[in-house]
Amino acid sequence: MSSALQFFMNGGFPMFVILVFGLVGAVSAARYAWAPGPGRLSYLGALAVVIGLAGATGFATDLMAVCTQVPNHPEWTEGSSLGMVLVEGLGESLSPVVFAGGFLLAHGLLVALGLKRLAL
């Protein structure tokens, strides 16, 4: 399995929410970069907030899944494996934050390009 697909699967369902809002934000920001207008900045700002909150909520949801699943699997807590299970779960839980962050970087860059064109 490719590492990109594994990364997406690690984040679980929240990744689909981030993907939808991230694509809407990227397309909207690209349209703004192409034809900037001051009336669309508040909409773009609101989309950025939604993308960021989707990433944070995805992290919380994934971390909650780790914390509720570990007690249901006593074999994971035997010996010294508990620490590794928790570290791996935390790493997977961070996938939505990284994914949303990538969309926010692209979003911000496109908005910055639009602002530059608006100033010309």
Within-domain flag for 2: no
Tell me whether residue 114 is in a domain.
yes
Buried b (16+ CB within 10 A) or exposed e, 96-106: bbebbeebbeb
Burial of 3 (0-12, 13-18, 19+ CB in 10 A): exposed
- pLDDT for position 13: 94
The model's pLDDT over 8-49, given as tens digits with 9 standing for 90+, comes to 999 999 999 999 999 999 999 999 999 998 889 999 999 999
- Residue 11: inside a domain: no
Which domain covers residue 44, as residue numbers? 17-48+80-120
Answer whether residue 55 shows pLDDT above 80. Answer: yes
Predicted local distance difference test score (pLDDT) of residue 100: 98
In a domain, 65, yes or no: no
In this model, does residue 74 exceed pLDDT 90?
Answer: no
Count structural domains, the chain: 1
